[in-house]
A and B are shown apart, each in its own frame.
Chain A
Amino acid sequence: MNWTEDDEVDSADWIWCWMTLAISLLIVAQALEDGIAQFRRGEFESARKSLSTVQPSPLRDVFLAISEVNTGHCADAEPKLRVRYEVPELRRLAGSALLQCLTLLGRMEEALPLAEKLGREFPRDPDVLYQSARLHMQAFNDTVARLFEHAPASYRVNQLSGEILDVQARPAEAAQEYRKAIAKNPAAINLHYRLGRALLVTGQFDEARREFETELKRNPEDALAEFQIAQIDAAQQKPTAAEHYERALQLRPGFVEAMVALARLRPASAIELLEEAVKLAPAHESARYGLMVAYRNAGRLADAQTQKAELDRLRKPPEGEFTEFLKRLGEPSKP
């Protein structure tokens, strides 16, 4: 090939251009790497700044958007998250961050269906579950505030207070609130049941049983109240326990907990009951365990081993933390 002077100038320009491009690419690659490293260290503001200088790509977008969410720039993050939510391998990550965003923005009407959808797709994912929990907590808080504001004298306020105290493991105070609710509305259903539960937790078995019986007088089809009476009788070794479990099952034929408990009292029909329970609720560990023991006791060791394998599978810890996945996203792929 013959080279002219102009050719040489053009070639030099061309080389310069390539070098500039290569250096630019290196700078961009470095910025992306820096941004991801900052993200992984939890330096979200620095990550946001670094990543915003980088050319858009699926990886950059998702790290940038989550950095934006974590630094209060949800409005900037949302469009990117919506786009990347459609990419299957980024769906869980983008969806979880989008849910966080919508919750922060108070857009419950959009957040609730998204949480439901993510929950169906990723039922054991800790980040999805965490964001869903935060969302529902926010929705709960908003609703409670409205109830207390608009109907402070309603028995519902006492009922809800009691239920919150129950959750906080303060059963004695919960019982007081339920009693106030009953005084305001003696005909309301479920209050005596709630009171019975609170009394049960504090070891007042006889008083609790009376409340469950009162609940049944108001609502004779309350399978849960029947079940609680059965539980008390079983704990006290009373022969009436089985009858109450059976009655609970008549009222609610798919009542798995009642099947499991009844199986313990009716060894002859344990396998039949527990096979039905496992059919209705395959992931019910208590039913699986009961069935394993029932098979073992009947000498059906192969069947017991099958149930044990199922139990082992159910008890296996959920797949790795979502954040581990997040970390791996920024790491070079292994050969």
Chain B
Amino acid sequence: MISTVDLCKDYGSVKALDNISFSVGRGRIMSIMGPSGSGKTTLINLIAGLDQSTSGRISIGGTDITDFDNDEKARFRLEHLGIIFQQFHLVDYLTALDNVMLAQYFHSMPDREDAMQSLKMVGLGDRADHLPGELSGGEKQRVAIARAITNDPELILADEPTGNLDEDNERMVMDIFKELKVEGKTIILVTHNHSLGEQCDEVIRLKHGRVDNHRIRELEMVK
């Protein structure tokens, strides 16, 4: 489903990512783990097309997105990706339902029913008309998940999706991811939470911008 080949990202003289190569198949949950500054968020930003790599290739669903321009990346995100951020990144003046429909607006046509369905899937059908300021952290993250899945993407990228959540909400979010996996979606999530990482099919550990370890549940690989 997704693969990277010798992916590098430099910020001036700082090598944030150094020759990252991996692949993950369809319908898998993969976690990217590592200490602060290891390049986890940088890697996921590159996969999402939110940033430009210095060198290397990224391929998603057989499409090489490395050389896409900003509009092409935006279109690709629309069609194939759903992104969940640690800080939720909801639009403050739009309700939960509006935030989900916003993703639909950019994709094609907003569909209130579909958006409500996405909210109900994450257990927030009764909070549709609430503003982000009126929601808890867990609820905001679930709205972000609903927004990410409403356009039925093949690949979901989540950067520290449970970073600001308590245990109960964390469990709730992982349950949702497992349901999405059953539907055939591929999920890559960045986390520093070991217990979360252990629940994933594959775990890549980064250290100083390099792959330190790539563990597949069926097969152990140590680099």
Q: Are A and B part of the same complex?
A: no
Q: Which residues of A contact B (CB under 8 A)?
A: none
Q: Which residues of B contact A (CB under 8 A)?
A: none
